[in-house]
Amino acid sequence: MLTQKQRTLTLLRLIGDLLFPPICTSCGIGIGKPAGLCSSCWSELRFIERPFCDILCLPFSYDPGEGVVSAKAIAHPPPFEKLRSVVLYDDRARRLVSALKYRDRLDLVPLMAAWMVRAGRDIIAESDVVIPVPLHKRHLWQRQFNQSAEIARVIARNSGLNFDPGTLDRVKPTKKQVGLGRNQRRENVRGAFRVAPERYDRVMAKTVLLIDDVFTTGSTVASATKALKRAGAKSVNVLTFARVAAFEM
């Protein structure tokens, strides 16, 4: 038997679906349930599946064997241990990220977080605490929420890990990374993150799962990783929804 509250909520959902029928987040056509994709847009997402570089999650065009890393990871080892991402950052993925970040589509968070838990299950199993890449206070005030923190909150809850959004601070109001070259991006986020000494115990000798929405050149998460390691973190793994990548030959 449904309680009165459950019956009321069910009725409100039905009324809401009638007044505002669910549409595909990417293309806008009608679908069966909210915060989802139509079958066409779903099929166009480029999910990252093995084989890929065990460090940078760069897809291989052939299977070189388990545990093989890419030439990029060998030539330029990142400060973090491993990266995992759900999809390649193409037009469909960009629409999803932009809808969350700039159109306040917080209803997408559970869907994106669930995909990220699946993609990052190996590094989640190694982690002690979930920390999002923070926004600077000025940008947080303008946007009113941090999309990475909202995703990280759900990932932590679904994985049974501690969620700590306050330990890593963004102390430098960086410019947008879009349109900047690799060296400009690296300089833009140099010294941008800090862990206050009184919070070192939150990460000391722990494996941190660092959450962001998109991995491009890696400058942002590299800077954040260095700040966490300076505070005593044993290791840092990175989990993002999307990553920019070409196939590694």
Euclidean distance between CA atoms 137 and 242, whole angstroms: 24
- Residue 26: is its pLDDT beyond 70? no
Residue recorded with tokens 């942002």: 220
Same domain, 117 and 148: yes
Nearest to 26, CA basis, from 9, 46, 40: 40
Is 129 domain-assigned? yes
Is 96 domain-assigned? yes
Same domain, 22 and 124: no
Number of domains forming the structure of the chain: 2
Position 113 scores a pLDDT of: 96
Three-class SS state of 64: coil
Same domain, 39 and 51: no
Is 137 domain-assigned? yes
Same domain, 187 and 75: yes
Is 175 domain-assigned? yes
Q: What is the extent of the structural domain holding 152? A: 47-243
Is 92 domain-assigned? yes
Average pLDDT estimate for 173-202: 72
β partners of residue 59: 52
Q: How many CB atoms lie within 10 A of CB 94?
A: 13
Is 144 domain-assigned? yes
Q: What are the two backbone dihedrals, phi and then psi, of residue 157, each rounded to the nearest 5 degrees?
A: -65, -45
Specify the DSSP element, H or E, that contains 211: strand 207-215
Identity of residue 209: L
Identity of residue 125: A
Same domain, 33 and 87: no
**Residues 54-86 pLDDT 10s:** 999 999 988 888 888 999 999 999 999 999 999
Nearest to 82, CA basis, from 216, 235, 226, 223: 235
- What Å distances lie between residue 229 and 79, 224, 234, CA to CA? 9, 9, 7
Q: What are the two backbone dihedrals, phi and then psi, of residue 210, each rounded to the nearest 5 degrees?
A: -95, 125
- Listed in sequence order, the residues at least 6 apart from 42 whose beta carbon sits closer than 8 Å to its beta carbon are none
Is 9 domain-assigned? no
Least confident of 76-85, 110-119, 166-175, 198-207: 166-175
pTM value is 0.85
Same domain, 103 and 128: yes
Is 173 domain-assigned? yes
Same domain, 85 and 163: yes
